[in-house]
Structure 1
Amino acid sequence: MSASTPSTPTSSSFSSRSGTPPPGTPPNLHQNTIDPAAQWLVQKYGGTSVGKFAAQIAEDIVPDYLDQHKLAIVCSARSGSTKALGTTNLLLRAASEALQRAPPSSLPSSSSGAVTPLSSSIFHRGSRSNSPPQSGLNGHADVPAFSATVDVIRREHLVAAKAAVRDRAVLQELEAEIERDCEGLRGFLYATQVIDEISPRSKDSIIGFGEKLACKIIVAALRDRGIDAEYVSLENVVPPHDDVDAGSDGALGQSFYDKVSAAFAERIQECGPRVPVVTGFFGPVPGSLLRQVGRGYTDLAAALLAAGLGASELQIWKEVDGIFTADPRKVPTARLIPIISPEEAAELTYYGSEVVHPFTMEQVIRRKIPIRIKNVENPKGGGTVIHPDADVDATIAPHDNADGLHGGIDLLTLGDAHFLAPQKLPTAVTIKERIVVLNVQSNRKRVSHGFLAGIFGTLDRFGVVVDLISTSEVYVSMAIEDVLDRKLQARLVRELEKIGTVSVHHQMAILSLVGKQMRHLVGIAGRMFATLAQGNVNIEMISQGANEINISCVIDTRDAVKALNLIHQSCLQIKPEGPKGRVGPWLF
């Protein structure tokens, strides 16, 4: 066993390379269409959707797409009843606990406590595990802390399995899988404890258990409802990367992701007419998946798969109807945006709105594949389309007419959906809270050429990302997220004080007005700031992006809700009488 990367217990694959169903497969299962003209459709389900709505996904959503499309499903790890009980958070906790010193009595014995899957398993396609037997905990009075965390993961997934699967035989198979995977995880954590080290790749492998468990629950739920689903793990699909291109900072180049995309598509094609249920985790990735991508790797996996398959659409299913003109929890008149440009979606992501990460979005948009955000609780809704065509655009009109259509605006058609013709209005207004403003004034009479270099070099050493910046010859104002603890923040200020006089303002927020149509809209900035002034909202700093689709300012957090409503009514021209019908929860 390597001193840096313990070997992961090899699980028997759910997948079948032969194209034949496993022994005991019921006849007449619903499969993907075999129409050669049908295009692929990739659906990605987030952790909350998998955690709360697995049965609804299998019963109400997936069957509606099988006869028109070739469907592939990508799943995140399940969320829990609380954030702390989310699978990924529990796995990260277990990894941390594995490095805590354990008593000798907690080390595994030679007896096996693992659950061996049936050879005719609907998951394993007739194969058996070649994993080494994993130790149970029987006979040990003192067990490491991570073992209790693994038990929580096991219990949460067994409860979810019973809620999602009705057929007794399918449920028994699934429960055996959950037991087996959790014992495999426990054994992996024991190994890391023995060598007293968790490498980045080992941490990736630990995190990957979450997606495996989630996908197996969805596979079982689908088969329980007569859909021929196949589990697909992507952990051994990434092609060799000896010649991978990487930047000076170690970031992987686009050619690597193109190879991964093609490899994903090739593996999915082997599923034949069965519906592939794909782990969002993929690896090994040079430099670690978590380091290269972060915890948004499931969205990226779905995007790469959609790009490789040339999908007609990438659907991201959440618990919201789509992207809104503002936060409906704070702005009662907020309305659903039917279609939005990638540039606008990226700006909203940067300034506090969880849309889709710009890099993930880029992987499908560059292949001219639309992204549609849909609601698992409202599957018939149209959602919001992030469309790659720069000429397709739509905005929200000022008011609705008696027919529910926006008054005075012509409709245009995109596929089977109807959208509104563009107006020169902003698209959305958003707020990013928990912001700190750092002001640095040069302590020299004449500014040194190294003034800005010194500031940004200091921020880089502390790992601080600047959201907004405003500069003059001797003065720099920066808005950053309030993510540093107070001691680290005090150290940062002391370092900056070597460059100039520093002042710090807490409890601030970034208010951003975003819209592709604002590029040539004269007077919109004046209207925005005049509206804030009339509402007695003080502005700390102002910034506008070079792409001219975003105007941002920093205000006091106490004024955030008032400012959102004022700008929403004034600049988006949506009056306070409120929308018709269901607004639903806020995406962001």
Structure 2
Amino acid sequence: MIENSNWVVQKFGGTSIGKFSTQIVNDIIKVYSEDHGNNVAVVCSARSSYTKAEGTTSRLLLACELASNNNFEYKNVLDLVEKDHISNAKDNIQDITVQDALIENSKREICIVRRYLDASQVLGEVSTRTLDLVMSLGEKLSCLYVTALCQDSGVNARYVDLSFIVPSDYECKDGTLDNSFYTFLVTAFREKLSPILKEIEKGIKIVPVITGFFGIIPMGLLNGVGRGYTDLCAALIAVALNADELQVWKEVDGIFTADPRKVPQARLLDTVTPDEAAELTYYGSEVIHPFTMEQVIRTHIPIRIKNVQNPKGNGTIIYPSDQAKKGESTPPHPPVALTSSIFESKKKGATAITTKSDIVVVNIHSNKKTLSHGFLAEMFSTLDKYKLVVDLISTSEVHVSMALPVPDSDSQKALRSAVEELKRLGTVDVIKKMAIVSLVGKQMKQFIGIAGTMFTTLAEQHINIEMISQGANEINISCVIDENDAVRALQSIHSKLLDGPVNESFESAVNERLEQIKHMDL
């Protein structure tokens, strides 16, 4: 049995900090630290006003782009960032001493970035290293603000900057971020936090507020990890502290059986497995990146998705159903024998349903001038050349159907170029404005008829299916339909497979089996 450590790591997103910072400090950080008696570590993303487009990270990326193009407008963008954060400090920090210190520290960090971009503008390019240094400003300003807000509310918070945690001469093997790199980070985080940990051991209550930006790396943090690096940082901090729980605070109550904005009957899920959460994330639900989950789950740390606007809610726990959590000697849900009885609930297998819009279906029929293996090789080489991602694929020897996400103008331009090249291989037709509907559930493979019910339901709604695919792990059944039918598909499938009580009545099960027998080819 793994012992509890009393540490809770709380990760807050940029829009949450932008809109609910006072509630975060008073109703969450302070409550867990003082009322619940936990040791709390806080990890912050760069602060946003109301949307990501207006957020600090987006503005800093724009400033880098302008500086590299010799456009002096980058100075105005930085002025906007400075004005926003100083105004925010004056509006929300009551203690003048704390407020003045926050404004001074914020101006100093912004001044450093100005010098980086001034040099980049002269050179006419923003290097990967400079981009990382500029990007780190967002998390620094956010954490300085949250630290000041905690101090203003009587919480003994300590600002922790991780932006130089990676040595400048650190080399990644084969140019990739492998497990050895993340093991190094966990050790480095533990060493960075050790002075605070020693004070806590002496009985001094301290809440470390840690930048979600964790260092300058050879290929750049954005290229190596992507914009989800703050979630990953929080996960690695949780591992370094041997935390009892990683809490990811969002603006929803947790993970639902479907998007509650589209399906009013959607239910909040108490728990999902990492595999289910990964599938839901990939096919449209913003949950948490699978790689982030992997870091904490392998060390038996559960992830809890919670709502900053409803801090007393239980949220949704992401954890394997066959592993024991800390403080438990056995898994909470031991394996249950499954039977093939026709009276078992058809609803038992599915966990949630999600949709992904902005999908384009590309059909390629080979002209047979290329051998079948060469046909597929050339096709994937072309897609790789234009950095196009394939979400779903259906193949035969000479025919391929693919569903590709095309969410923006850059992707559309890349798709047009790719299609022109693919025409060398045969006939190509493109179907736009499609959506992927994915039914996810770890237990689905144990139950017969779920896929049939899903597709029958779509047929009853007169919704045409363009493509069908099942994931190799058998916990996901997906199909491609017209984007205009997506909400209706969600609602109807949810009604059949995810609504209502778990157990069907005996009579209902018999009637369903009789209907199946009627349609059998005897």
Tell me, yes or no, whether TM beats 0.5.
yes
| Residue 348, structure 1, aligned to residue 274, structure 2 | no
Q: Does the alignment pair 1:52 with 2:42?
A: no
Decide whether the 8 Å contact of 1:239 with 1:260 is kept in 2.
no
The offset of 1:261, in angstroms, is 1.2
Instruction: List gaps (5 residues or longer) in structure 2.
Output: 201-205, 326-330, 334-345, 502-522
2:369–2:425 Cα contact (<8 Å) kept: no
Relative distance call for 1:502 and 1:37 in structure 2 (3 A) is closer
Higher helix share: 2
Q: For each residue in 1:161-194, what CA deviation from the matched residue of structure 2 results, as whole angstroms up to 9, or x when unmatched?
A: 1233111211111112222222222222112112
Map 1:311-322 onto structure 2 (within 5 A).
311-322=243-254
Give yes or no for the alignment of 1:462 onto 2:386. Answer: yes
Match of 1:163? 91
The one-letter code matched in structure 1 to 2:12 is Y
**Structure 1 residues 214 and 157: CA distance shift in structure 2, 3 A:** same
The aligned residue for residue 316 of structure 2 is 384
Contact 1:237-1:263 within 8 A present in 2 as well = yes
Q: Which residue of 2 aligns with 1:126?
A: none
The one-letter code of the counterpart of 1:519 is: K
Matches within 5 A, 1:156-235: 156-235=84-163
Question: Matched residues in 1 for 2:110 and 2:421: separation?
Answer: 47
Compared CA separation, residues 38 and 541, structure 1 to 2 (3 A): closer
C-alpha separation in 1, matches of 2:40 and 2:347: 36
Amino acid at match of 2:405: E
Partner of 2:445: 519
Distance apart, 1:485 and its partner CA = 4.7
| 1:449 and 2:373 are equivalent in the alignment | yes
Residue identity opposite 1:73 in structure 2: V
What is residue 41 of structure 2 aligned with on the other side? 72
Counterpart of 1:439 in structure 2 is: 363
Instruction: Give 3-state SS (helix, strand or coil) of 2:373's partner.
Output: coil
CA distance in 1, matches of 2:25, 2:413: 49
Partners of 2:291 and 2:151 in 1: CA distance: 34
Alignment of 1:247-396 (within 5 A): 250-271=175-196, 272-273=199-200, 274-390=206-322
Please give the alpha-carbon distance, in whole angstroms, between the structure 2 residues aligned to 1:526 and 1:516: 17
- Report the counterpart of residue 116 of structure 1 in structure 2: none
Q: Is the CA contact 2:355–2:435 (under 8 Å) kept in the aligned structure 1?
A: yes
Encode CA deviations 1:482-516: one digit per residue, 9 max, x unaligned. Answer: 14454432221111010111010000000000001
The residue matched to 1:449 in structure 2 has which SS? helix
Mapped partners of 1:220, 1:158: distance in 2? 13
Mean Cα displacement is larger for which, 152-161 or 316-325?
152-161
Change (3 A) 1:562 1:503: same
Structure 2 partner of 1:498: 424
One-letter amino acid of the structure 1 residue matched with residue 393 of structure 2: I
Q: Does 559-568 or 444-453 show the bigger shift?
A: 444-453
Q: How much has 1:60 moved relative to structure 2? A: 1.2
1:7-26 equivalence runs, <5 A: none
Matched, 1:98 2:67: yes
Q: Tell me, what secondary structure is at the counterpart of 2:492?
A: helix
User: 8 Å contact 2:353–2:438 — kept in the other structure?
Assistant: yes
Equivalent residue number for residue 53 of structure 2: 84
Superposed, which structure 2 residues align to 1:68-147 within 5 Å? 68-101=37-70, 144-147=72-75
Task: Report the Cα distance in structure 1 between the residues aligned to 2:22 and 2:171, rounded to whole angstroms.
Answer: 44
Whole-angstrom distance in 2 between the partners of 1:329 and 1:227 = 36
What is the one-letter code of the residue matched to 1:199?
A: S
Give the Cα–Cα distance (whole angstroms) in 2 for the partners of residues 72 and 175 of structure 1: 23
Contact in 2 for aligned 1:38/1:69 (Cα 8 Å) = no
Counterpart residue number, 2:476: 550
SS of 1:516's equivalent in the other structure is coil
User: Unmatched 5+ residue regions in structure 1?
Assistant: 1-35, 103-143, 394-411, 415-421, 576-588
C-alpha distance in structure 2 between counterparts of 1:233 and 1:446, whole Å:
56
On the 8 A contact 1:366/1:388 being kept in 2, the answer is: no
2:249 match: secondary structure: strand
| Residue 472 of structure 1, CA deviation | 1.5
Distance 2:159 2:15 in 1: 20
Q: Which amino acid aligns with 2:483?
A: T
Post-superposition Cα deviations, 1:379-407, rounded to whole Å, max 9, x if no partner, equal 000001001343689xxxxxxxxxxxxxx
Distance 1:318 1:71 in 2: 17
Confirm or deny: 8 A CA contact 1:368 1:389 kept in the other structure.
no
Conserved in 2, the CA contact under 8 Å of 1:321 and 1:336?
yes
Q: 2:456, 2:51 → 1: CA distance?
A: 42
Deviation at 1:83, TM superposition (A): 3.9
- Give the RMSD, CA atoms, in angstroms: 2.2
Amino acid at match of 2:70: R
1:415-445 deviation line (CA, Å, top 9, x unaligned): xxxxxxx973200000000000000001118
Whether the 8 Å contact between 2:15 and 2:50 is mirrored in structure 1 is no
After superposition, the C-alpha distances for 1:356-392 in whole angstroms (9 at most, x for unaligned) are 1111111111111100011111000000100134368
CA distance in 2, matches of 1:447, 1:425: 41
Normalising by structure 1, what TM-score?
Answer: 0.77
The AA in structure 2 aligned to 1:255 is: S
* CA distance 1:242–1:57, shift in 2 (3 Å): closer
* C-alpha displacement of 1:53: 1.2
> 1:488 maps to what in 2?
414
Contact 2:395–2:401 under 8 Å retained in 1: yes
Cα deviation for residue 573 of structure 1 reads 3.5
- Alignment CA distance shift 1:296-1:90 (3 Å): same
Given that 2:370 and 2:425 are in contact with CA atoms closer than 8 Å, whether structure 1 keeps it comes out as no
Q: Alignment partner of 2:445: what SS?
A: helix
Does the 8 A contact of 1:58 with 1:221 survive in 2? yes
Match of 1:133 in 2: none
CA gap of 1:244–1:101, structure 2 versus 1, over 3 A, is closer
**CA spacing shift, 1:357–1:82, aligned 2, 3 Å:** closer
**In the alignment, which residue of structure 1 is the partner of 2:400?**
476
Is the CA contact (8 Å cut-off) linking 1:568 and 1:574 kept in structure 2?
no
Q: Counterpart amino acid of 1:79?
A: S
